[in-house]
A and B are shown apart, each in its own frame.
Chain A
Amino acid sequence: MKGSRVVAPEAAVKRRAIFPWRVRAEPRIADVPHWLPPLVSLGALLLALVLGGIVLAVVGGDPLQTYGHMVKAAFGDVGVLSDTLTKATPILLCGLSCSLAFRAKLWNIGAEGQFFLGAWAASAVVLWPVLPATTPRVLMLLAMALAGFLGGAMWGFVPGVLKAKLNVNEVLTTLMMNYIAISWNNYFIFAKWSELGFQMSPKFPTSAWLPRLADYAQQVPLFAGLTTHLGLLVGLVAAGILWWVMYRSKWGFEIHLTGDNPKAARYAGINIARNTILVMMLSGGLAGLAGMSEISGVVHRLQGAISPGYGFTGIIVAWLAKLNPLAVVPVSILFGALILAGREIQPSGIAKLLQGIILFCLISSEVLLRYRIRVVQVQRG
């Protein structure tokens, strides 16, 4: 026994430290203080602006001037502020759609397709026509909203059932159904409802238009020319209701639990399959409502280019808002502003690039909430 070598612990391993300091990430073993998450998010946003500024400087722009211009282009006066809010409306509804699904850990990346189906179903009310053009405005709009919601919900139902009953990956099904939705839409605008061979439907009768602020310019002169429409209010109300559902209702508790630990949810007697389908339908319905609000409030006809990717932006917005419906509101306004300001900036990719950098920074900053970063001195053997 004496002759044999004792296996010594790690201390025997001598390694020369090149740099005397090491950064070490230790998992947090206690609760994160309440003030930390917002602070980290704000820090990440600032860092993103700095990084974006560097890119701007490299391509030869003046970062401060550019940012200043962008802020002015999005929030400079009542007119552009109204445009920003108009842009923010579909993003808001799509962001809510994704927040709900993601809370249940259902990766619905099909808000784009659900948006298109919602737009199509709402248009069908007018163009099929389900209701004549002379229908009273309130009835017409309610019917369109219902149709839009159901259209989106149907597009969420299919992946929901496949997931619940056959455990088919919802990422793939929702993504693929986006393409189906867009092509479905194209078929109608190219063939069925095409106006004079153009790839768009005829303009809706005014009974199918969501009221805008500009409609009330006679009563309130300040509203003249403002594009913000009733869809924004719908979005804000939806955000409030969804917050209550997600944070205060029994069903929201079930969804949160299922998302965090499906096995524990099953053990607690929760019907996971039913909830999966319901969440996907409600999520799809919200995105469908976004589609209805966009064609009825802004475009006033069905056409191909009704979304510059609102459904996908919704994914980002939901993440940035940490899936909190109330936080989705300011985040979607920020993204509405970025889209609007992006039109003022050349090259036009800058706004998208900034979006990407912001997302990257915010998601990376999650690490700070999970780990405590320590700088430690390396001890020399």
Chain B
Amino acid sequence: MGQFFNVQDLGAIAPELELMLFGMILLIADLLVEDKKWLGFIALGGTAWSGYFLVRLHGVEVSAYSGLLNIDQFAWFFKLLFLLAAALTIVISLKYLDIEREHHGEYYALIMFATMGMMFMAGAMDLITMYISLETMAIATYVLVGFLRGNQRSNEASLKYFLLGAFSSGILLYGMSLLYGIAGSTRFGDIADALDQRSLGDPISMIALVAIAAGLFFKIAAVPFHQWTPDAYEGAPTSITAYMSVAVKAASFAMMVRIFLGALSPLREHWVVILTVISILTMSVGNIAAMTQTNIKRLLAYSSISHAGYILLGLIAGNATGLTAIPLYLFAYTFTNIGVWAVVVALRRKDIIGEQVDDLNGLIYKQPTAAILMLIFLLSLAGVPPTGGFIAKYYLFAGLIESDHSKLAVIAVLNAAVSVYFYLRIVVAMFMKESNEKTGLALSPGIVFALAVALLFTLWIGFYPDPFISLAQAVF
């Protein structure tokens, strides 16, 4: 047995174990604690403690469980990202769940489990490990999307997300089985070696590649596999939408990068073509569809689709600059997006659904600070300097130019310019329209905290990105 497991390996997955432990504690505590807010604090403590273990693992490079999991800079970075996203999600959920009258302990437990799944995804170097951790994350997320039991849209969203998610997992699994057939092993390294042996146009490898790519495109919500996204994002509790748009998306990208740059690296020539087409479609459809949305959650869903298209550019460029761009982009995007979603969460007030762009009308009169923060976040999403979003986009475009993808770069920057249109629609509502109602945002201390953190990082990355660039450069 020693070959497969030794005690040190437990230390390597300590952060994940911590989350699991806290997930279970939360389930039990739910029975005992009357004021569910405390459960949120316990969950926060869980992420903090897990974070503590993670920080202690910084710089450690080991391969645990005889190569099933890698503890490396890549995994470390993404795990950090997931923990931050989870913590910020919990913080913005506290009051929101009260307003929705759905404050239950499972909510936090599920976030713990989903985050744990993501953290394993980031470390997985093996198809089986990858798939199981993916499903751990996905199943927890399906439940979270349908968490508003009394709300039809939430149920519908959950069902759609579940069906399409299961379907895409099936396709992914099909591709994985083919890879196993080719390599006789589930390890990424073995698969890469086996693919390397075969000719480049080998049909089996191609089918495997297409199936895996399609499954992954579902997960990152790339066009034309994106239809579930607006519905799921709209129906889910807003705090969970925030979580999905940052953490779930980042985890899917981590998985994609691991598989494409690990197992499928010999097929690079083929997948670059696929990714180029998908990336152009994703950016353009996402941006164009976002223009006409009146529901802010759907608008941001389409915006999040188009951002997936941008991130793919990093993989297409494939050089150091482009690869640095992926973690950098995800990092900047996480904070910016949490900021935007925190404002949308605060739009949900007692007796006001607050999901339309119009609900932000005249925010500048009611809560000028919130309006200005939202403006900064939107500019960051649009990639206007001096914000984190600009630095991240800069890296992507620089990667493309450096690797001689000038035409793609032109398409990408034009898309970035066009995207400003719908972000500015929100700005127009906030700054240039009269408000329809007197009630301001439901700003709880948690949301204020999340906004402050989001602002700090959005501007910090924008003004002084050096530390974050080195963080991102260390990833690969």
A and B: real partners? no
Chain A residues within CB distance 8 Å of chain B: none
| Chain B interface residues toward A at CB < 8 A | none
